[in-house]
Amino acid sequence: MIEFYLNGQPQRLDAVDPNMSILTFLRTKMSLTGTKEGCASGDCGACTVAIGSLDPQAPSRIRYDNVNSCIAVVGSLHGKHLVTVDALAGARPHPVQQAMVDHHAAQCGFCTPGIVMSLFTLHHAAHAQRQSPSEIQMLDALSGNLCRCTGYRPILAAGEAACRQDPTTDSDTAVPQADASGWLDNPAMCAELARIAEAHAILELREHGRYDAPQTLDELRRLRRDHPEARLIAGGTDLMLEVTQQLKQIAHLIDLTRIEALQQIETRPDGLQIGAAVTYRALEPILSERWPAVGALLKRLGSSQIRNRGTLGGNIGNASPIGDMPPILIALGAVLELDSTDGVRRLPIDDFFLDYKRTALKPHEFIRGVFIPDQDPAALLKVYKVSKRIDDDISAVLGAFSLTLNAGIVTDCRLAYGGMAAIPKRAHRAEQMLIGRPWDEAAVADAMAALAEDFSPMSDVRASADYRRHVAGNLIRRAWLETVSGQMHPSSTFPTTVFDYAHTHD
């Protein structure tokens, strides 16, 4: 059985397909049809809902995240508060809804419910923090919502009007009636959600499969030992595409998101330890502080809806050759912790990827965490993502380069790429062309030429093999030009990052 709240009302489910998405549940089981299906792959944002979780910093309040309901399983609602567009308006429209009307921001209307819900989560956070969102935050919140009528100008105007009202006022126009009546942050509901969080969550239908959500590492170890064929799920932003796009039925899902040990970020004397179920949203502040280039990349990883659910361990475990984080982790010399009933073994991430979608993970193991060792203070980290869109797109090529220079000599380097092979991979031959040599144009030219020995990329819908080879070499050259010119890769603001990344095709 799973328990959660839906638009302020308690819900209990014990007989529902574990593969069912939240979107399907809303539309077919609850007749809440305000939430729309557009792409069924987490790209368009029409299905966006708000999912509330108890705020770890203030347990008496709930933090709401915008999420793609088309690729989130219904079991993930256990201990949460699900809010849909159907419930926002009370005696009067929610401020976001009213602003959308006032600024003529709804055209065909199909995408409008998802846009409203993304702006709703931003609006709610502004009032909780008593701070109006910046333009960057506004753009970021809407990065996963596509308007096929191309009506972004009035949508942004509506968001600004609704979310930039003075959050310190309690006037009817500033605080939605739902807030005023307390159902979004009702203390009794918060207490109930805390109770539910301690309860076991399981769904099982004989003809549809099983869903488990263990709370401890020991429970997870036993489940992996007893059910090695089960699929692990955290954000589900990739795995659920097998259900929505390939129409597969996954017989057994094991949810990792309720295990606290997998959601910890720990600063150790020799490096950074990150739990496998840590989301991109939680990762962004600490990685941005240590490596600004990684922070800039995370702004482009999926959308706000994807970053609210997607996890570091999931990005590694799905073994995609075009995942954004593995090349960065390879460049940083990360080490994986692989856990099971046999104990924990540590494996350099370079050795984890064996072939296309094949890894060194044993059937009964799971990724427990990632350790990133402290870097040489002289090391530079450059990260470049080349894709057709700025937001919510997959890389054609991603380059992550760690370079250590001493008196102008390259004393160490790790050049890692995504999109250039069947796996995320280092360019060992190109590295050899740089180590021990001056960081100059001649060495860079040799490294660029050596990439032909490291990779034989394929052509696909994202890029041709020739394009990938050309761009991969130019990224090394770009790193050199930025270094020698003193113009470091900009990452301090989102608009600057957008401009910078838009020109990585050159």
Q: 467: how many CB neighbours lie within 10 A of its CB?
A: 16
**Cβ pair 190, 61 in contact under 8 A:** yes
Query: Which domains does the chain show, CATH number per domain?
Result: 2-87+183-255 (3.10.20.30), 95-168 (1.10.150.120), 277-373 (3.30.465.10), 379-502 (3.30.390.50)
| pLDDT of amino acid 73 | 96
Rg (CA), the chain: 23
Reported as a pLDDT band with limits 50, 70 and 90, residue 173 is very low
Distance (Å, whole) CA 92 – CA 113: 17
Least confident of 383-392, 419-428, 484-493: 484-493
C-alpha–C-alpha distance, residues 307 and 294, integer Å: 14
Q: Report the helix count and the strand count for the chain, using DSSP H and E.
A: 18, 20
Residues present in the chain in total: 506
pTM of the complete model:
0.90
Longest dimension (CA), the chain: 72
| Dist CA 479 CA 9 (whole Å) | 54
> CA-to-CA distance for 20 and 244, rounded, in angstroms?
9
Question: Region 102-121: what's the mean pLDDT?
Answer: 94
pLDDT at 391: 84
Mean pLDDT over 456-472 rounds to 95
Nearest partner of 274 among 370, 346, 352, judged by Cα: 370
Could you give the CA distance from residue 504 to residue 506 in angstroms, rounded to a whole number?
5
Q: Does residue 107 register a pLDDT over 50? A: yes
> Which phi and psi (to 5°) does residue 415 adopt?
-105, 115
113 pLDDT exceeds 60? yes
What integer pLDDT is reported at residue 92 of this predicted model?
87
Q: Looking at residue 503, what is its pLDDT? A: 36
Q: What is the mean predicted confidence (pLDDT) over 426-440?
A: 98
pLDDT at 491 over 50: no
Q: Give the residue-averaged pLDDT of 79-83.
A: 95
Q: What is the mean pLDDT of residues 288-294?
A: 94
Q: What percent of the chain has pLDDT over 90?
A: 76
Tell me: pLDDT of 32 over 50: yes
pLDDT digits (tens, 9 = 90+) for 252-275: 999 999 999 999 999 999 999 999
Average the pLDDT over each of 75-79, 182-186, 362-366, 386-390 and give the range with the smallest value.
182-186
pLDDT score for 202: 85
Pair of tokens at residue 500: 């910078």
